[in-house]
Amino acid sequence: MTSLPLAGRLLVCAVIGVGAGLLATALALRSGQPLDFLWSAPGYLVGAAVAGTVVLVQQFSSQSLIPLGIVPLYLTYRGYRSYMGRIEDEQVQVKEIADLNFATIEALALAIDAKDQTSQAHIRRVQLYATALARKLGMSANHIQGVKTAALLHDIGKLAVPEHILSKPGPLTSEEFHKIRAHPKIGADIISAVPFPYPVAPLILSHHERWDGQGYPSGLKGEEIPLGARILTVVDCFDALTSERPYHRAMPYDAALALLRQESGKALDPSVVDAFLALLPGVYDEAARLDQFIKQPMVSAETLLMRLAPEPAKKNVFDDIALAHREIYALYEIAQAMGTSLGLADTMALISAKLMNLVPFSCSALFLYDEDTDSLRCHYAAGVDAELIQQIAVRSGDGLTGWVARNRRAIVNARPSADLEASGLGSVSMTLQSALVCPLLSKDKFIGALAVYHLDAAFYRDDHRRLLDRVSEQAATVIRNSIEFERTRQDSLTDSLTGLPNTRNLFVHLTRELARAERLKGEVSLMVMDLDRFKEINDTHGHHVGDRALREIARVLRNAIRPYDMCVRYAGDEFIVVLSGCGAAEAEHKRQELQEAIANVLFEARPGRRVPLGISVGAAVFPQDGESYESLLAAADSRMYQDKASRKRQGLRPVMRDSEPAPRPASAELTDKELNRAGK
């Protein structure tokens, strides 16, 4: 009988060891927890209870109890299945909660990415690079998840940075840069309130630290910086270099790699850079595919949604956020042109480029309104059928552009050919099929119309009209400024009375022509002209008649020279003509031709009172008579006064005070002005 208690004890040990061991091993393998985890305790309790029962039965029975060993094994198996079922259910719940949490984090991060229109898909690419790099560097699964999460949230602190700073094209001021530098600390403060099971906030805080200790916000150096943060620094730097930003253009792939190598050991951890360069060829193409859709021109919300999903009702909220901020940014860039001295063509090129990000078009055009004629004329067109559209000139109320001018509101999906018909070009065919035209109103004054055209019929929607209206509000002021700028520039180079170039324009033109003639061993002729007896016209008939005479002289001279020659009103009743590639013989022939053209002008001071006009001309030729502006002008001026004196000796036709000529004596004296200039 003494052997039975020993057998019972052995049986108890066997049951406890086998049952608990099987259960602990199975659960440990399934869950990844150690063998001595707390859930193994129930196996011990069940095994001990069964073994105790067997011992009690053994004390009152002499039969062999070996078959009873099957019972605890079966009970252990059932306990294992029950526990495994509950563990699996709990693991599914935990995974679902973890996925939900990460999806929430990703949604927040994508909203931030969409908010910053200058770095679309940036965080997606950074996450892809950082996760692959963390695996390559052998980080644990827990830390890899931390890097993956931090990559999504590394710029969350930019929520506290004003949008105009994030999107500023030019250099930042010290105050603006101070706000930018604060975003890692702000981001870490935000994330520190979230109890992640892996490090995230320290990585966000340190992702702008430098290997050499010159970074921010804490000035950490070398391995003081968390490895995950060093990973983010490298991949964030590379993606920033290869992406378009307001303050720099995207750098070529090879140039970006060269810069990473250059910064290795300075701003960047050398070992992390080496690992990144090794894995980059395998992930770069995948990263580039992430923003293929983002780089498509942004259009209306409806069009965007049609691209995103087969179901019209499906909506991508992140792209709506991006659309809204691209709209704001495009308007901001157009507003940047205000106050700058841009010409009309430059301004329209800028507006068209920014407008393409909001409203797609095959051609864009600008029509300006002329109050004097109550009409609109195309002053700029670019794209399909641009040369045809540039010929459009319509009266207010005619065609679609005239309709917009008359009604002061936009017209959507109009027929572009209506403007051609209103301009008398109805026989010409055009490929554009739909038009969207918006009025340009500056301070409630109509100045013109902004039009976009598309090759597809009925392409534009009301959302396009809304966007173009908003652009037109900004563009009207910019275009008005450009018109004023061009008018000011034209006034600075043009004589307001005659419309001829002025002396400033003459100096620029003559300097260029003399340099070209010297380079090509050519000739340039300069003629100085002075009207004869012009003072008597002013004294007898009034200065308003003298002004008309000057305008008529200017018209005759301009029409008598070649398109590439220049006629300038020099001062008062003096004119200068520059003849390119013209020698002495040709200049003499042109001098006589111009004098004859002026003598043949039938100018009436008032109806029935004709006044004869005459002009004295002197010419000088480069390089024979001088090689500079001053020497040529002096030579031509001297010869002009010689010609004037000669003409007076021969007898000039006098100013007519009535219908018949009254001859002037040949001995008439020169005026004081003429005597002084002639040096007599």
Whether the bond between 623 and the residue before it is cis, its omega within 30 degrees of 0, is yes
pLDDT of residue 662: 39
Is pLDDT of 402 > 70?
yes
Is pLDDT of 679 > 60?
no
Q: For 316-344, what is the mean pLDDT?
A: 60
CA nearest to 376, candidates 429, 450, 430? 450
Higher pLDDT, 52 or 225: 225
Hey, what are 477's tokens?
A: 């002021």
pLDDT of residue 489: 72
In percent, how much of the chain has pLDDT > 70?
70
Q: For 21-34, what is the mean pLDDT?
A: 58
Is pLDDT of 432 > 90?
yes
CATH number attached to the domain at 503-678: 3.30.70.270
pLDDT of residue 610: 86
The CA distances from residue 208 to 226, 247, 563, 577, in Å, are 11, 19, 62, 66
Is pLDDT of 493 > 50?
yes
The torsion angles phi and psi of 290, rounded to 5 degrees, stand at: -65, -35
Question: Tens digit of pLDDT for each residue in 506-545?
Answer: 888 999 999 999 999 999 999 999 999 898 888 888 999 9
pLDDT of residue 311: 41
Q: For 51-59, what is the mean pLDDT?
A: 62
- Helix (H) / strand (E) containing 580: strand 574-580
pLDDT of residue 282: 85
Give the model's confidence band at 323: pLDDT under 50 very low, under 70 low, under 90 confident, else very high: low
pLDDT of residue 658: 40
pLDDT of residue 289: 73
Give the model's confidence band at 57: pLDDT under 50 very low, under 70 low, under 90 confident, else very high: low
Question: Tens digit of pLDDT for each residue in 549-603?
Answer: 999 999 999 999 998 999 999 988 999 999 999 999 999 999 999 999 999 998 9
Question: What's the topology of domain 327-488?
Answer: Beta-Lactamase (3.30.450)
CA nearest to 337, candidates 168, 165, 477? 477
Q: Where are the beta strands (DSSP E) in 180-294?
A: none
Give the model's confidence band at 329: pLDDT under 50 very low, under 70 low, under 90 confident, else very high: low
Query: Which residues are within 8 A (CB) of 20 and not within 5 positions of it... i.e. 6 or more apart?
Result: 40, 43, 44, 47, 76
Between CA 377 and CA 670 the distance in angstroms is 50
Is residue 296 within 8 Å of 257, Cβ to Cβ? no
Is pLDDT of 11 > 90?
no
pLDDT of residue 110: 62
Higher pLDDT, 593 or 309: 593
Between CA 90 and CA 74 the distance in angstroms is 24
Query: Which residues are within 8 A (CB) of 3 and not within 5 positions of it... i.e. 6 or more apart?
Result: none
Q: Report the 10 Å Cβ neighbour count for 77.
A: 13
Higher pLDDT, 457 or 107: 457
pLDDT of residue 678: 40
Higher pLDDT, 179 or 101: 179
Query: Which residues are within 8 A (CB) of 515 and not within 5 positions of it... i.e. 6 or more apart?
Result: none
Domain ranges of the chain: 3-92, 116-286, 327-488, 503-678
The label of the residue with tokens 């057998």 reads: 7
Q: Of 181-190, 283-292, 511-520, 606-615, which range is least confident?
A: 283-292
Give the model's confidence band at 677: pLDDT under 50 very low, under 70 low, under 90 confident, else very high: very low
Higher pLDDT, 276 or 112: 276
> Which CATH code of 1.20.990.10, 2.40.50.140, 1.10.3210.10, 1.20.1250.20 fits the domain covering 116-286?
1.10.3210.10
Question: Tens digit of pLDDT for each residue in 240-258?
Answer: 898 877 667 788 889 999 9
Hey, what are 221's tokens?
A: 């150096």
pLDDT of residue 94: 60
pLDDT of residue 649: 85
Is pLDDT of 261 > 90?
yes
Query: Which residues are within 8 A (CB) of 249 and not within 5 positions of it... i.e. 6 or more apart?
Result: none
pLDDT of residue 20: 59
The CA distances from residue 620 to 305, 504, 531, 614, 630, in Å, are 72, 20, 18, 20, 11
Give the model's confidence band at 401: pLDDT under 50 very low, under 70 low, under 90 confident, else very high: very high
The torsion angles phi and psi of 577, rounded to 5 degrees, stand at: -120, 135
Q: Report the 10 Å Cβ neighbour count for 484.
A: 11
Higher pLDDT, 401 or 168: 401
Question: Tens digit of pLDDT for each residue in 603-635?
Answer: 988 888 888 899 999 999 999 999 998 999 999
Strand partners, 393: 377
Question: Tens digit of pLDDT for each residue in 629-672?
Answer: 899 999 999 999 999 999 888 875 544 444 344 344 333 333 44
Give the model's confidence band at 49: pLDDT under 50 very low, under 70 low, under 90 confident, else very high: low
pTM: 0.45
Give the model's confidence band at 479: pLDDT under 50 very low, under 70 low, under 90 confident, else very high: confident
pLDDT of residue 172: 78
Give the model's confidence band at 456: pLDDT under 50 very low, under 70 low, under 90 confident, else very high: very high
